[in-house]
Structure 1
Amino acid sequence: MAAETKHKAATPDTTTAKQDFDLQESMHKAEDFYYKNKNVINIAIVAVIVIVGGFFAYNRFIKAPNEKKAQEMVFHAQQYFAADSFKLALNGDGNNYGYLQVIDKYGGTKVGNLAKYSAGVCYVRLGEFQKGIDLLQSFSANDKLVQAYAYGLTGDAYMELNKTEDGIDYYKKAGHYSDNELTAPLYLFRAGLALQKAGKTQDAIAIYKEIKEKYPQTNEGREMDKYLAKLGEVKE
């Protein structure tokens, strides 16, 4: 019995040996693959390093300085905008830049993007509605409230151009983009009025009911029974 035990203890573990063999074989295969393809692999690694490094370098040495330059450049345009001097805000005064110059030079920056919105407002206020539309449509904001205003102002500009359907689309877009009691009922109400103008009474009624249901405490919400009554809807 002891001899049998001794014999068993001396017997090699074939499973472990097989695993070690497979591991070594895999390692050799990996090394073979690397040496056969090392040029491609090394190029790929270098490319990743260059891309990542380039991204951080761009942010640090190009993007950040450009943002600062754009902020300095837009300063006087903002002052003219606040004073309702829209032509000067757009074009500058000969000594200081306007929004259009900021957009042209630094349109890809955050400041340049906001300049598109402000310039769009300027054009609409000056009665150059299509130019205002073009700039407002090129603007995009992370802030939902600002973006809603941009959509709503675009709707106003389309209405001024007698493009009622486009105006309705943008009013609805503005009204539904941000669920708040400031912009949503305001632009939904304008959508309802535009729908009435277009002869789409049932669509206008649906919008007015939506305002009444969702925003009853707003100025627009409190007025909805009056508008619904004018359209033949029975007051609840």
Structure 2
Amino acid sequence: MATYKKRGGRPKTKVEQQTKLEEDSATAEVFNTLDEGANKAEQWVADNQKYIFGVIGLIALGILGYLAYQTYVQEPKEAKAMNEMFQAQNYWEQAMTATENDSLFNLALKGGNGQYGFEEIISKYGGTDAGNMARYYAGIAYLQTGDYRKAIESLDGFSATDEILAPQAKGGIGDAFAALGEFGDALNYYKQAADLNTNDYTTPKYLLKAGKAAIESGNYSEAAQLLARIKENFPDSPFVDEAQIFLGQAEAMQ
């Protein structure tokens, strides 16, 4: 190794001197380039500082505006919507356990005693969590009273990640399509409901409904596959005995 490569070493031959000059020149060029780039950047910032500060200001205003909206508009609106929905929810819960329940479901939907029903909650507070829940409640109420198209529309607009409510909303849409005799669509939604959040209740429940819808739509092979999943994956489910009956039917019709 040449001695000038060591710390403090100096080039001795002309070749070494030339190499050293070239290396120094390349290093200087790199630093000059970096200096030029830094100068250009500084100049660009200086020339555009009004624009830069304007953008920063707009971003800050946007953040402050969002926080103010959440604090002074959205949160009070959420609280008011929940309060307004209390009576409608009460009617709905009574209807779910009553024998004669159409009038209670209608009160839940339309309102009563000067209180809003779910339809009004959805209309006035659609962008709130309460408005979203009102779509679920309304969808089930429409389903129970035979207004299947409205049930589909309302449940389709409901958004949830809850392990039980989310599958039940999809399953409710499947029930509405099945009641309309549209078993292909019912099958699609039942399968979504079964696979949305796998658990020991809603998954076998909607696999059974999917199997029945597949039989009704003539998809016997798919029906057998769906129904077999209940026995294989959920042998302790309360739906397993009924699934076995329809599984035998599906296999016999293939």
What range is the shorter-chain TM-score in? 0.7 to 0.9
Contact 1:73-1:102 within 8 A present in 2 as well: yes
Q: What amino acid is aligned across from residue 109 of structure 1 in structure 2? A: T
String of CA shifts for 1:142-190, please: whole Å, max 9, x gaps. Answer: 2132010000011000111111111111111101111101101011101
1:47 matched residue in structure 2: 58
Instruction: Give the counterpart of 1:76 among 69, 87, 92.
Output: 87
Distance 1:231 1:23 in 2: 76
C-alpha spacing 1:201/1:15, structure 2 compared with 1 (3 Å): closer
Distance 2:130 2:175 in 1: 24
Contact 1:216-1:222 within 8 A present in 2 as well: no
1:11 matched residue in structure 2: none
Q: CA deviation at 1:212?
A: 1.3
Instruction: Give the counterpart of 1:99 among 104, 114, 118.
Output: 118
C-alpha spacing 1:37/1:232, structure 2 compared with 1 (3 Å): closer
Q: Summarize the alignment of residues 48-63 of structure 1 with structure 2, pairs less than 5 Å apart.
A: 48-63=59-74
Q: CA deviation at 1:63?
A: 1.1
Distance 1:197 1:96 in 2: 42
The answer as to 2:161 corresponding to 1:142 is: yes
Contact 1:151-1:173 within 8 A present in 2 as well: yes
Identity, % of aligned positions: 35
Q: What amino acid is aligned across from residue 148 of structure 2 in structure 1? A: F
Q: CA deviation at 1:231?
A: 3.8
Contact 2:142-2:150 within 8 A present in 1 as well: yes
Q: Secondary structure, in 3 states, of the residue corresponding to 2:115? A: coil
Q: CA deviation at 1:32?
A: 1.2
C-alpha spacing 1:230/1:176, structure 2 compared with 1 (3 Å): same
Contact 2:88-2:109 within 8 A present in 1 as well: yes
String of CA shifts for 1:37-88, please: whole Å, max 9, x gaps. Answer: 1222122101110111112111111111111010111011111111111101
Q: Summarize the alignment of residues 171-186 of structure 1 with structure 2, pairs less than 5 Å apart.
A: 171-186=190-205
Instruction: Give the counterpart of 2:172 among 120, 135, 153.
Output: 153
Q: What amino acid is aligned across from residue 178 of structure 2 in structure 1? A: M
Distance 1:23 1:164 in 2: 70
Q: Summarize the alignment of residues 1-236 of structure 1 with structure 2, pairs less than 5 Å apart.
A: 27-84=38-95, 85-232=104-251
Structure 2 gaps, min length 5: 1-24, 96-103
Distance 1:228 1:19 in 2: 77
Distance 2:217 2:34 in 1: 76
Distance 2:212 2:218 in 1: 10
Q: CA deviation at 1:227?
A: 3.1
- Structure 1-normalised TM-score? 0.85
- Alpha-carbon RMSD across the aligned residues, in angstroms, is 2.2
Distance 1:231 1:80 in 2: 41
4+ aligned runs moved over 2 Å, structure 1: 14-31, 221-233
Distance 2:27 2:198 in 1: 65
